[in-house]
Amino acid sequence: MVPIKVSLVKNILHANERISVQNKEFFDEKRILVINMMSAPGAGKTTLIEHTIKALDGEVNIGVIEGDIQSTYDAEKIAATGAQVVQINTGGACHLDGNMIRETFSQLDFDAMDLLIVENVGNLVCPAEFNVGEDFKVMLLSVPEGDDKPMKYPLMFHESSALLINKIDLLPYVTCSIDKIRADSLKINPNLKIFEISGKTEAGLDAWYAWLKQKIEDKK
Ligand SMILES: Nc1nc2c(ncn2[C@@H]2O[C@H](COP(=O)(O)OP(=O)(O)O)[C@@H](O)[C@H]2O)c(=O)[nH]1
Ligand SMILES: [Mg+2]
Ligand SMILES: [Zn+2]
């Protein structure tokens, strides 16, 4: 007898894709640029989002969806900036999916929104496999994580449109070659836009803001 093979992972991805396409249509209709921000835990996503909200205040209306396995710490930090925010607790799941994003539709006011930033669960692996309805995936890699990460976790580098190399203020204290990160990332994804930034000193952030503003403009 020929065994029947059930491809569970494939089915899950297909189901997610259907919902994510619907989410994308919803955001396109409202002309909201959606960024899916991914990284390992602690690379600096929330800090970067806080800076971005403050820097673009008065120019760009930003909403945030915070994804975490548990807790509302990040959402509280974002709420303190005055931006609209919803916390998704995945209750164990290590990535966000399209359905979770759809659940927030009744809780956010999208009418005045120009940019929606989705902070994914901290994880360098499966968030890259699940679209949520975004225009772009962007990822952070902080220099203490080491310069071998592009070759160890290539999918996220492959799927991202922009790579923010964060915590460059720590370069004097860690063994990490920015040149190697750049070279290996571009081997995986020649179109990757790379920024070198620090969420502590705010070095390099102007280039990130300019990139983001251009993408928002393009979506209008
Ligand atoms: N030295 C340094 N620390 C940073 C930088 N960006 C963020 N951090 C710190 O790194 C920790 C994790 O940052 P967070 O934004 O919460 O990371 P997330 O888990 O990716 O959201 C916090 O203690 C931040 O203050 C940076 O550029 N340089
Ligand atoms: Mg965070
Ligand atoms: Zn996962």
The CATH number of the domain where 80 resides is what?
Answer: 3.40.50.300
User: Residue 7 has what pLDDT?
Assistant: 79
pLDDT digits (tens, 9 = 90+) for 110-120: 998 999 999 99
Q: Which atom of ligand 1 is closest in space to residue 39's alpha carbon?
A: 20
Q: Is residue 77 part of a domain?
A: yes
- Please give the model's pTM, rounded to 2 decimal places: 0.96
Q: Above 80 in pLDDT, residue 5?
A: no
Q: Is residue 1 part of a domain?
A: no
Measured in Å, residue 92 CA sits from the centre of ligand 3 at 9
Q: Is residue 194 part of a domain?
A: yes
Instruction: Please give the tally of structural domains in the chain.
Output: 1
Q: Which domain holds residue 76?
A: 8-219
Q: Which ligand is nearest to the CA of 197?
A: 1
pLDDT digits (tens, 9 = 90+) for 127-180: 999 999 999 999 999 999 999 999 999 999 999 999 999 999 999 999 999 999
Q: Is residue 76 part of a domain?
A: yes
Q: Is residue 2 part of a domain?
A: no
Measured in Å, residue 45 CA sits from the centre of ligand 2 at 5
Phi, psi of 113 (to 5 degrees): -85, 135
Q: List all residues whose CB is within 6 A of at least one atom of ligand 1.
A: 39, 41-47, 122, 166-167, 169-170, 198-200
User: Residue 59 has what pLDDT?
Assistant: 97
Residue 6 pLDDT level (bands cut at 50, 70, 90)? confident
Measured in Å, residue 94 CA sits from the centre of ligand 3 at 4
Q: Which ligand is nearest to the CA of 45?
A: 1
Measured in Å, residue 49 CA sits from the centre of ligand 2 at 9
Let me know: does 143 contact 171? Beta carbons within 8 Å: yes
Q: Which atom of ligand 1 is closest in space to residue 50's alpha carbon?
A: 15
Q: Above 90 in pLDDT, residue 34?
A: yes
Q: Which ligand is nearest to the CA of 127?
A: 3
Q: Is residue 3 part of a domain?
A: no
Q: Is residue 161 part of a domain?
A: yes
Q: Above 90 in pLDDT, residue 13?
A: no
User: Residue 175 has what pLDDT?
Assistant: 97
Pocket test for ligand 1, best of 47, 65, 164, 171 (most atoms within 8 A of CB): 47
Measured in Å, residue 1 CA sits from the centre of ligand 1 at 55
Q: Is residue 163 part of a domain?
A: yes
